[in-house]
């Protein structure tokens, strides 16, 4: 018995040691001498049409709340990475930390500023459904928590019609509109959503239209059924109904994508989704507008064709459960602060006899406009934010992913956020004001936290001025309005992934010129350089705000000694 | 044989290893796609450190640790998906909302007293289109308990504060426990008796205010006790007469026709019945039981029962609950009390570490204190202590010594209508485990 235990110990110890060793050695060069691609090759024409994916909603919830979490905790590779702090970098980020345009994401406000008008227009390509002529219901969904219809306007454009819950006008439709504009500006594919007004008296029904009752029986959809269904939704005093008309996405829907793994029958989908930067970093963006319902079912894959052949485009959909809305009611206080079934909080509560108090306990919606629901910024903390269920992509987020997301959040000024909120067309101006103020405060907290985890320096540019190499940069902590106090910086220079000497203080400003000592070392290194990689140097920069040094950022540059050769080849915020 | 066994060990199981290999490949898709991900020509042109090597090194031990949960997940996913397909969750919600569904439904249950119990129940919202609800219920159990009843009416009728309910039925309780009279009875004297007969009762209800209600009732009971002999084939308990002299068991061999009339006042100011945070509940129930006893004896006694509970929210769902309950039986001049009508202590809503009816006496007193705290949304945990004792006459021999203690804890899943409770209780004699539904303390 003891022998067996000893043998087990040796084997286990060996595996752990090898793992840590390999983990430490697994780093490859963090720069690329090739320019970053503008687009990923993820939109190549499909050789065959992928099949429709129809995962179980309940199983998704059960699995993500329990089995997935247990399995994650038993993933030794992952736990070792956690222990050693060697996180697994996103697989689709380039050496500059960016995400190329793809079937998932298009760089928009985060890389090139959009105007508030552009943000407000969002993905929309038309002016909304034609309300001058009656709509025709072509498909109806009466069961479930929220009813919905497919309706066609007089132009033949099909929309999915979404409502506000009875007693809560503008709640879900407002949230849907704001988040649509926000996530579009961030760069995600989202549907075209329009605020519109439905007149139940003028609506027409497609001939032979049927619906399935609770028992699954097909029955004719009549005006009486429509009126019965509309009893569940918020109506205006004139009897009309404010709705979100969500334009049917162009292409063939093939079901939701998963935040884990890949779609096996899509050859373009070769990066595990939990390691895509735009899905990991979505956690930070979701925190701003409290998009806690990031389950697979709130995504959709579409077989799209832009003229170069069919490919799968990936969408985020259904934002009715964002901000302070829970689609069919104001958001319960715990959502956004705990999982639906939060085993960790439950176990801690159980064994501490309830002495541990959670941030969402005792919360109150007092003072919040009814159209907003429960959405606040006081109790909100970025590390304490949680989606409805554990999300594999969010669980893999590292500092660089978070910084990527935070930079996009930082790109939104008050005017930009107001443009998003204006899309909700709230009848109560106080709702708009409250949301803008709350979003700005959440933005501040998000930036403060995630910028605090790295040196939030950006927009690096290297040049050779007057015979000396110079690096300029932008301090996001200051440009995004987190502090009015001046920052302190220090740097050191190195060859490839190494560093020479100790940090040198940068007395003022956000640019530096290498001193003669560093220039001499670079010249010496160039003399023995044989490959292009031997001509890669780095500058490690560290920023200090409010008396605290941030984690350094390392900027890699290529330089062969000629004046025009200096160029950036990589940035590592996790240096 | 030994050679064969060694050969099997060295080459592995012919089914197990291939099966494990298939499971490994299917459960570790991340490794399968990792190679593709490093193809820099397909991604960004940059090669970033990703520490994928750890996944390879730990793949097998991680797989071994995760395998049971993954297999469990596959097993569980089937029923979960089934639930989704059949709207089963809605049915489950209606069950847990404590609204017993209308129509014909199976009834199942289990307790250490009755064993596994099953039967049918028919509920109609409006019997013969009168607007009056009806319930017909029949059950049998593995311990040969039998029950059949027809109930018409309810606590509230026609959306008024008044209600009326009548019920007739018959029952056979075959394995009732008796341990002897008084606080010093011993668990070693556990014995068995039987009680069977018919009953009919009428109750009138008046919901005076939201918190205050009154009830008046009258019941006729035809009771035929038995000594348990011939009914003890399940279990090893002795007949009651093997343990106790007949003289101590008034009413054992007599078929009695008893009537009981009384009334009750209930003041209920709890905020949530299923898991009160604030408020309390008080109940006073007074009735008179009478009838002809065996021979020339007469049965006649007053039953006075009072219970009060109070809930104090310490902060945010952390609640301290207190309960005091007492029952006093007062026989009239020259009248007696059948042994099975005496006050009893023990059970899931009484002295929790002791079996139902573990203590029997004319009077009983019970104190409970609980600390409850939220574990998750509609799940509370609780720690409790119960102190209880039976007395011969509480007005003469009450004392604070001799109380039996129970303590323990559990989990309670609740909603506004009631709760489902899992309790583990420890007393001097044993551990008790309960899974019970209700809305009591």
What mean pLDDT is reported for chain B? 83
ipTM over 0.90: no
What is the torsion angle, in degrees rounded to the nearest 10, for the CA atoms of residue B48, residue B53, residue B55 and residue B58? -160
What mean pLDDT is reported for chain A? 89
Tell me the mean pLDDT in the region B256-272: 95
pLDDT (0 to 100) of residue A224: 87
pLDDT (0 to 100) of residue B4: 36
pLDDT (0 to 100) of residue B34: 43
Tell me the mean pLDDT in the region A537-553: 92
pLDDT at B26 over 50: yes
pLDDT (0 to 100) of residue B231: 52
pLDDT (0 to 100) of residue B6: 40
pLDDT at B199 over 90: yes
Tell me the mean pLDDT in the region A76-80: 86
pLDDT (0 to 100) of residue B88: 57
- Judge: A353–B373 Cβ closer than 8 Å, yes or no: yes
* pLDDT tens by residue, A141-152: 765 556 678 999
Residue ranges of domains in chain A: 31-453, 457-572
The architecture (CATH level 2) of A457-572 comes to Sandwich (2.60)
B21 — pLDDT class (breaks 50, 70, 90): low
Query: Considering only residues 187 to 246 of chain A, which have any Cβ-Cβ distance to chain B shorter than 8 Å?
Result: 214
pLDDT at B98 over 60: no
B242 — pLDDT class (breaks 50, 70, 90): confident
B101 — pLDDT class (breaks 50, 70, 90): low
Tokens for A98, please give them: 């960016």
Query: Considering only residues 376 to 415 of chain B, which have any Cβ-Cβ distance to chain A shorter than 8 Å?
Result: 376-377, 379, 381, 383
How would you write A490-540 as a 3-class SS string? Answer: EEEEEECCCCCCCCEEECCCCEEECCHHHHHHHHHHHHCCCCHHHHEEEEE
pLDDT (0 to 100) of residue B60: 85
C-alpha distances out from residue A139 to A259, A384, A571, Å: 29, 41, 51
CB B52 within 8 A of CB A90: no
pLDDT (0 to 100) of residue B233: 47
Query: Considering only residues 84 to 123 of chain B, which have any Cβ-Cβ distance to chain A shorter than 8 Å?
Result: 84, 87, 89-90
To the nearest whole percent, how much of chain B has pLDDT over 70? 81
Name the residue facing B58 among A57, A71, A76 (closest C-beta): A76
pLDDT (0 to 100) of residue B274: 80
Nearest partner of A545 among A448, A407, A430, judged by Cα? A448
Tell me the mean pLDDT in the region A72-79: 87
**How many angstroms separate the CA atoms of A431 and A177, rounded?**
14
pLDDT (0 to 100) of residue B49: 43
* pLDDT tens by residue, A251-285: 999 999 999 999 989 999 989 999 999 999 999 99
Which of residues A457 and B80 earns the better pLDDT score?
A: A457
pLDDT at A24 over 70: no
B41 — pLDDT class (breaks 50, 70, 90): very low
Which of residues B213 and A468 earns the better pLDDT score?
A: B213
Secondary structure of residue A237 in the 3-state scheme: coil
pLDDT (0 to 100) of residue A351: 95
CB B203 within 8 A of CB B264: no
Query: Residue B419 belongs to what H/E stretch?
Result: strand B419-427
pLDDT (0 to 100) of residue B22: 62
Secondary structure of residue B130 in the 3-state scheme: coil
B313 and A CB contact within 8 Å: no
* pLDDT tens by residue, A89-99: 898 988 888 99
pTM: 0.82
To the nearest whole percent, how much of chain A has pLDDT over 70? 93
pLDDT (0 to 100) of residue A485: 83
pLDDT at B232 over 60: no
**DSSP, residue by residue, A537-568:** EEEEEEEEETTEEPPPEEEEEE--SSTT--EE
Residues of chain A with C-beta less than 8 angstroms from the C-beta of B64:
none
Strand partners, B225: B195
- Judge: A275–B45 Cβ closer than 8 Å, yes or no: no
Residues of chain A with C-beta less than 8 angstroms from the C-beta of B49:
26-28, 30, 89
Tell me the mean pLDDT in the region A176-199: 96
* pLDDT tens by residue, B300-310: 999 999 999 99
* pLDDT tens by residue, A223-245: 888 888 888 899 999 989 999 99
């Amino acid at each position: 018995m003891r022998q067996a235990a000893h043998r087990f110990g040796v084997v286990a110890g060996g595996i752990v040691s090898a793992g840590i060793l390999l983990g430490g050695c697994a780093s490859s060069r963090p720069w690329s001498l090739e320019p970053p691609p503008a687009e990923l090759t993820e939109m190549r024409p499909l050789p065959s049409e992928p099949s429709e994916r129809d995962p179980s909603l309940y199983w998704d919830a059960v699995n993500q709340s329990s089995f997935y979490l247990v399995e994650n905790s038993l993933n030794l590779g992952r736990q070792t990475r956690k222990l050693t702090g060697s996180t697994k970098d996103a697989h689709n980020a380039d050496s500059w930390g960016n995400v190329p345009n793809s079937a998932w994401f298009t760089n928009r406000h985060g890389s090139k500023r959009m105007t508030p008008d552009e943000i407000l227009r969002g993905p929309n390509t038309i002016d909304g459904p034609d309300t001058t002529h009656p709509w025709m219901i072509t498909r109806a969904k009466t069961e479930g928590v929220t009813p919905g219809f497919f309706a066609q306007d007089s132009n033949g454009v099909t929309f999915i019609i979404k409502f506000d819950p009875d007693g809560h006008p503008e709640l879900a439709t407002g949230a849907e509109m704001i988040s649509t504009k926000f996530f579009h500006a961030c760069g995600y594919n989202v549907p075209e959503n329009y605020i519109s007004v439905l007149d139940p008296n003028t609506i027409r029904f497609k001939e032979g239209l049927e619906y399935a009752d609770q028992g699954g029986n097909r029955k004719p959809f009549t005006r009486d059924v429509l009126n019965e269904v509309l009893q569940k939704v918020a109506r205006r005093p004139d009897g009309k109904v404010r709705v979100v008309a969500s334009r049917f996405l162009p292409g063939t829907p093939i079901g939701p994508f998963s935040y884990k793994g890949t779609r096996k029958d899509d050859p373009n989908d070769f990066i595990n989704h939990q390691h895509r930067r735009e899905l990991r970093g979505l956690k930070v963006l979701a925190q701003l507008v409290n998009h806690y319902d990031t389950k697979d079912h709130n995504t959709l894959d579409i077989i799209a064709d832009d003229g170069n052949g069919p490919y799968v485009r990936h969408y985020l959909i259904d934002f009715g459960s964002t901000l302070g809305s829970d689609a069919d009611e104001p958001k319960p206080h715990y959502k956004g602060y705990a999982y639906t079934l939060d085993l960790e909080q439950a176990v801690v509560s159980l064994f501490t006899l309830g002495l541990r108090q959670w941030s969402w306990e005792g919360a109150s919606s007092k003072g919040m406009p009814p159209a907003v629901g429960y959405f606040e910024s006081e109790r909100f903390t970025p590390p304490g934010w949680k989606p409805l269920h554990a999300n594999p992509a969010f669980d893999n987020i590292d500092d660089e992913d978070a910084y990527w997301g935070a930079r996009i959040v930082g790109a939104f000024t008050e005017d930009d956020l107001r443009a998003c909120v204006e899309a909700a067309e709230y009848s109560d101006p106080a709702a708009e004001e409250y949301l803008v103020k709350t979003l700005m405060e959440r933005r501040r907290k998000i930036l403060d936290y995630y910028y605090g985890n790295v040196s939030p320096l950006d927009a690096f540019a290297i040049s050779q001025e007057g015979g000396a190499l110079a690096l300029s940069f932008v301090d996001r902590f200051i440009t995004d309005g987190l502090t009015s106090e001046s920052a302190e910086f220090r740097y050191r220079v190195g060859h490839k992934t190494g560093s020479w000497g100790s940090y040198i203080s940068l007395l003022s400003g956000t640019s530096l010129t290498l001193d003669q000592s560093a220039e001499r070392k670079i010249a010496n290194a160039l003399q023995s350089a044989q490959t292009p990689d031997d001509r890669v140097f780095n500058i490690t920069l560290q920023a200090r705000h409010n008396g605290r040094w941030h984690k350094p950022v390392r900027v890699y540059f290529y330089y062969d000694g000629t004046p025009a050769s200096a160029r950036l080849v990589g940035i590592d915020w996790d240096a | 044989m030994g050679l064969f066994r060694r050969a099997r060990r060295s080459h592995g199981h012919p089914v197990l290893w291939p099966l494990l290999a298939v499971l490994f490949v299917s459960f570790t898709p991340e490794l399968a796609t990792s190679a593709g991900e490093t193809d820099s020509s397909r991604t960004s042109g940059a090669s970033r450190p990703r520490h994928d090597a750890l996944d390879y090194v730990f793949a097998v031990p991680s797989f071994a640790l995760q395998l049971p949960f993954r297999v469990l997940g596959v097993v569980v996913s089937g029923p979960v998906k089934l639930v989704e397909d059949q709207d089963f969750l809605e049915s489950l919600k209606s069950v847990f909302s404590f609204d017993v569904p209308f129509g014909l439904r199976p009834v199942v249950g289990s307790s250490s007293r009755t064993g596994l119990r099953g039967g049918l129940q028919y509920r109609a919202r409006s019997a013969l289109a009168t607007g009056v609800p009806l319930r017909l219920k029949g059950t049998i159990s593995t311990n040969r308990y039998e029950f059949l009843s027809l109930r018409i009416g309810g606590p509230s009728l026609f959306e008024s504060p008044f209600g009326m309910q009548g019920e007739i039925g018959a029952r056979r309780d075959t394995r009732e426990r008796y341990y002897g009279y008084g606080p010093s009875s011993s668990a070693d004297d556990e014995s068995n008796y039987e009680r069977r007969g018919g009953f009919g009762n009428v109750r009138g209800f008046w919901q005076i205010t939201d918190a205050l209600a009154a009830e008046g009732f009258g019941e006729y009971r035809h009771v035929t006790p038995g000594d348990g002999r011939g009914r003890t084939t399940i279990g090893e308990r002795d007949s009651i007469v093997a343990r106790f002299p007949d003289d101590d068991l008034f009413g054992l061999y007599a078929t009695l026709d008893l009537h009981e009339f009384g009334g009750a006042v209930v003041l209920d100011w709890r905020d949530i019945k299923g898991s009160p945070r604030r408020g309390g509940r008080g109940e006073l129930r007074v009735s008179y039981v009478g009838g002809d006893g065996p021979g020339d004896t007469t049965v006649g006694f007053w039953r006075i029962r009072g219970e009060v509970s109070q809930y104090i929210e310490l902060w945010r769902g952390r609640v301290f609950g207190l309960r005091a309950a007492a029952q006093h039986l007062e026989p009239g001049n020259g009248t007696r009390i059948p042994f099975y009508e005496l006050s009893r202590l023990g059970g899931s809503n009484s002295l929790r570490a002791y079996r139902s009816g573990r203590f029997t006496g004319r009077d009983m007193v019970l104190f409970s204190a609980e600390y409850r705290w939220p574990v998750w949304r509609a799940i509370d945990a609780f720690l409790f202590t119960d102190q209880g004792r039976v007395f011969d006459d509480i007005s003469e021999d009450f004392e604070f010594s001799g109380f039996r203690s129970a303590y323990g804890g559990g989990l309670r899943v609740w909603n506004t209508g009631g709760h489902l409770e899992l309790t583990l209780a420890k007393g001097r004699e044993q551990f008790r485990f309960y899974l019970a539904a209700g809305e009591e303390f």
